[in-house]
Amino acid sequence: MLVLVCYDVNTETKAGRRRLRRVARVCESTGQRVQKSVFECQLDVARFEALERELLAEIDPTMDCLRLYRIPGTRGFEVIEHGTFKAVDFDGPLVL
């Protein structure tokens, strides 16, 4: 399956800059960089789960955002989110 890995690591501190380097290193060892913080990876299910564990071990979910988009050939589109960003449910009720 094709997996898009997108991340936003808070780099205001030295620890944040270190996390950013470690996350990028994990992604570089697995896939192809398509933007500064976006990678495309061709993975099987086992490698996808291992990559997710590795990335979760590197980020701080209270300060960083990690998004993994699984795009399997026949199953459709699925997004798995971790961290500070929460997507808007465009199919949900609109409250003004």
Pick out the residues of the known binding site for Mg(2+): 8
Cβ atoms of 68 and 80 within 8 Å: the answer is yes
Task: Please list the residues that pair with 63 across neighbouring strands.
Answer: none
Residue in the block written with tokens 């570089």:
28
Task: Point out the annotated binding site.
Answer: 8
